[in-house]
A and B are shown apart, each in its own frame.
Chain A
Amino acid sequence: MSEPVNSTPAEVPVQAHLRLSVIVPFYNESENIARMYQAILGAVEPLGVPFEMVFVDDGSKDDTLEIATRLARTDPRLRVIKFRRNFGQTPAMAAGIEHARGEILITMDGDLQNDPADVVQFLNKMDEGYDLVVGWRFNRQDKMISRKIPSRIANRLIGRVTGVPIQDNGCSLKAYRASVIKNIPLYSEMHRFIPAMASIAGPRIAEIKVRHHARQFGTSKYGLSRIYKVLLDLLVIKTVASFTTRPLLWFAMLSMPLFLGGLVAFVYLLLAALLSSEGMSVPIAGTGVIFLAGALIMFSSGAVAEIVYKTGDIRERDFARLTSRVRTCRS
């Protein structure tokens, strides 16, 4: 079974009896992985729910994989997904989510900064009927300047733009209903936008406070991505979240200022021609033409976007079906 695998989500069905999957990505965490394993067991075993663990080795260069393999050889509840090389945190989470078989998926960091003991809180919250429960590291143990302040600004901004007011988007400790998250595309560096991304599907989202420990072993692997990346990603989320169903409308709105600019230029030309006898101003006429042409091309892009949406395999109605609950009375 050590053949290379390329499984699609369809091949990894949600097993009805498996209640919980704990997903942990690891990248060069040889000091932490065994401790993490013990901590998860210690937290989840007493709950008495059928569970599994999915460890994702994100191309570690130390002996993280060897330790994980040894653990997996002795414990049928643990599976280890080995990446061909380092791909990053979001892909690691996405792979874990894809290969998980439980009904409820809980993700957390592999560096012991999240506390597996919080899992029980998440399960309780999910039982209340939420589809996505997000952790909030309310007393975060990290450096102030390089991590906490930028993250606070980013979270404020993300909440403002996406309309999903979450205190702490960067916290890896989250619980998902498998049927919902498996249908939400996770790519690029979207991990800090998972709640916003998920909100496209319209789930019931809750946030709970979680413990956060200072890093004991190893060093922080995932630094702050550069600001412009976050800003652009935010713009993408906003775009896909609010306009996927009506791309033409959105591009039409974008082309509006250009159209107006062109219009103003031509009105000016017309007035100038009527009121004075100096002849037409070439730069103004040219500007008008450029703006109108720009508006036209932008509008055409909207038409292309419409085709893209039509041929794509992600539709809003799928999301509606995923998160809706139906109650009927037949008699």
Chain B
Amino acid sequence: MTPDHEHLSVSCNVDLSAIVPISIRHVDIKALHAQYRDALASISRSYEIIYVVDGAFADVIAGLDELLRAGEKLTAVYLTRTFGESTALMAGFEQTTGAVIVTLPAYYQIEPADISKLVTALGSADMAVACRWPRVGGPAERLRRWAFHGLVRWMTGLSLHDLGCSARAMKRQILEEISLYGDQHRLLPALADRQGFRVQEIQVRQSPQDRYSEGYRTREYAHRLLDVFAVFFLVRFTKKPLRFFGMVGASTLCIGTALVLYLVVARLFFGESLANRPALLLSSLLVVLGLQLFALGLLGELIIFTHARGLKDYQVDRVIEFHAAEHETA
């Protein structure tokens, strides 16, 4: 036990818990385990490794069996089908006991020796996010990366450069507070930042075996964009849906109304017939759409209001009071 985690010693058996969610993209599990084990052992804190097998991958299951038979200290969680990385992470988290949670990819992304850098960074931050640097990759991929992270920065206000890297270290509290679903694991730093945790980006060396250079397919990019949008919405407008829908709805309504007015004026004063103008269709569509969006926003507000007891706008760090002082001096 290191001194800075002493107050958690009651509930935690180890210092570090590493979670490795294993999905379709993975490398030979035995070689990977050897690397991660050595890297974690070199940090000289007690640790545990938890593998979450997200689907029926025969080679992974066989590999883990072999490791377990050989007496390797690890925990394996087998999911019945592929649930996605966020769910796998949460399933792995249930098995952890460490005060520090390290998430690691099931393939080579970073130099394993640099995991210690992430853990060390937790001294001053609540979450350390790895950023592979220097990084290989063609100009097209670099442009794509730049655009994606620019969008994330614009939407969440958080300047990160490598959300694709899943090597991260964080305090246990983060995953206790934030329940991940869907594909939110990538944007966990943004969600943590929203909750008031300090997020820091740490540069680590890229693994020489990190050769996934064909990039993402378009569909995958569409998914990631939707994720960013979902998180953006969660971060900015959870408590005030009408701010968003109201704005979009009001502008649609305004455009529609202006168009309607123009048509009416044209009809009344210039005798242009309404009956054969497709513009009438457009304007009425805009008006109706604007009202709909507004109603959606109000519906959202109603949801927030009637469920507001469970929602909290703030996160209390600690309560300082008189008898607490007595405890500390004792």
User: What residues on B are CB-neighbors of A286 within 8 Å?
Assistant: 280-281, 284
User: What residues on A are CB-neighbors of B279 within 8 Å?
Assistant: 283
Give the CA-CA distance A187 to B322 in the complex, in Å: 29
Q: Determine if B318 is an interface residue (Cβ-Cβ < 8 Å).
A: yes
User: What residues on B are CB-neighbors of A68 within 8 Å?
Assistant: 320
A284 close to B280 (CB less than 8 A): yes
B301 close to A236 (CB less than 8 A): yes
Q: Determine if A135 is an interface residue (Cβ-Cβ < 8 Å).
A: no
Taken residue by residue from 266 to 281, chain B's Cβ proximity to chain A (1 for < 8 Å, 0 otherwise) reads as 0000000011111111
The distance from the CB of A242 to the nearest CB of chain B, in whole angstroms, is 12
Those of B245-294 within 8 Å (CB) of chain A: 246-247, 274-281, 284-285, 288-289, 291-292
B291 close to A187 (CB less than 8 A): no
Give the segment of A30-38, A139-147, A202-210, A306-314 that binds chain B: A306-314
Give the segment of A90-98, A156-164, A166-174 that binds chain B: A90-98
Point out residues on A near B: beta carbons under 8 Å: 1-7, 59, 68-69, 72-76, 78-85, 87-88, 90-92, 94-95, 99, 185, 187-188, 228-229, 232-233, 235-236, 239-240, 244, 247, 251, 254, 258, 261, 272, 281-284, 286-287, 290-291, 293-294, 297-298, 301, 304-305, 308-309, 311-314
Point out residues on B near A: beta carbons under 8 Å: 7, 173, 195-197, 239-240, 242-243, 246-247, 274-281, 284-285, 288-289, 291-292, 295-296, 298-299, 301-325, 327-328
B284 close to A287 (CB less than 8 A): yes
Give the CA-CA distance A286 to B279 in the complex, in Å: 11
A188 close to B306 (CB less than 8 A): no
B313 close to A90 (CB less than 8 A): yes
A239 close to B315 (CB less than 8 A): no
Specify the main secondary structure of chain B where it touches its partner.
Answer: helix
User: What residues on A are CB-neighbors of B281 within 8 Å?
Assistant: 283, 286-287, 290
Give the CA-CA distance A13 to B317 in the complex, in Å: 20
Give the CA-CA distance A253 to B8 in the complex, in Å: 56
Known: A59-B196, A187-B304, A286-B280. 18 other contacts (CB 8 A): A4-B173, A72-B322, A82-B320, A87-B313, A88-B313, A94-B314, A229-B243, A236-B301, A239-B302, A283-B276, A283-B280, A294-B292, A298-B295, A301-B299, A311-B306, A313-B310, A314-B305, A314-B308
